[in-house]
Amino acid sequence: MILKKLRSRTYHWEPIEYDAYRGMLYVLARAAPDFAVLTNIFTEVKRRLPAFAPKAIMDFGSGIGTVLWSARGVWESDLREYFAVDTSADMNDLARLLARNGREENAPFLPGIFFRQFLPATHTLRYDVVVSAFSLMELPNQANRLLTLDNLWKKTDRFLVLVENGTNAGYRLIMEARTHLLRKAPVLDPQQTAIVFSPCPHEATCPRLRDKTPCNFAVGYTPTLEPTSNGRGIVKFSYVVLEKRTASDKKDGEDDRRWPRIVSPVLNRPRHVVCRTCDSDGRLKEVVVTAAKHGKECYKCARASRWGDRLPVAIDDVHV
């Protein structure tokens, strides 16, 4: 019943007013999949930028604080400050209680935790990472969403992470935000621009906007409710990680090569592997990799790759 209600709201794009009761339902139904999604996204940032260690994170639409738990798990003791914004006072109270391990008398496991119901008006304080996870759909209209995105962009010092459910509606919200900020970022701050850190290997228009197939990814998790036959659940999500950069920036020694992103399940066949990718030229491609044609190392790499991975090989013979 809980999951059915949340799915109904997701597909019909209606905001949910979270009181204490609905907050507890959210913990049971969504904490595990949301944690898995965020951990997946943060882990790629850490893997590609091992020297990047965020000290401060802002979480817009913070709910029960899942961003904090995921970020803490990935960056461990590097995190010093977590600033949570959620209009529901009941959700803030629940997140505060969870940060104290369920007991009011306990101190929070991270001293620098702050809860607010509204975004601060000032932009003097900036955060290494700003996150909006499963929150854009709760905003009443497009004008409100775009204004919120502008404010979130002004508050990040490095990364803005936007995540929604992997439905057509969630994907199109992410594309709306991506398109808006790639265009608007130089206006908001003439000294800096926005690039797509992940998942796209380009800043061109998403090729999947031309059809009705959302660009989404999947991650496994252990469900709290409605356990499956194998004890695992799968959640699909759409997301974009935008990075602030100046024209001459190259931070943390990252390899800037824009490897193709695998955008659907990899097909492992007896003597070949089929990878469907989004490439740096903004086109969808199908790559058929064989050991005879591409070499054993390339073949092993493709065979070990999964949906959502970058494919770190250069292959010329592809089908567009």
Instruction: Convert the pLDDT of each residue in 285-315 to its tens digit.
Output: 998 998 888 888 888 999 999 999 999 877 6
Q: Residues 12-23: what's their mean pLDDT? A: 68
- The separation between the first and the last C-alpha atoms of the chain, rounded to the nearest angstrom, is 43
Chain segment 233-286, per-residue pLDDT in tens:
899 999 999 999 876 665 554 555 689 999 999 999 988 999 999 999 999 999
Band of residue 205 on the pLDDT scale cut at 50, 70, 90: very high
C-alpha–C-alpha distance, residues 127 and 93, integer Å: 23
Closest Cα partner for 17 from 69, 90, 80? 90
Q: Is 226 exposed, middle or buried (0-12, 13-18, 19+ CB in 10 A)?
A: exposed
pTM, full prediction: 0.90
Closest Cα partner for 172 from 132, 206, 147, 217? 206
Band of residue 80 on the pLDDT scale cut at 50, 70, 90: very high
Q: Residues 15-40: what's their mean pLDDT? A: 84
Chain segment 107-125, per-residue pLDDT in tens:
888 889 999 999 988 888 8
For 107, phi then psi, to 5°, come to -80, 145
Q: Residue 281: what residue type?
A: D
Q: What is the pLDDT at residue 15?
A: 63
Q: How many CA atoms lie within 13 A of 276 on its CB side?
A: 11
C-alpha–C-alpha distance, residues 26 and 76, integer Å: 25
The token pair at 150 is 């502008």
Q: What is the pLDDT at residue 246?
A: 78
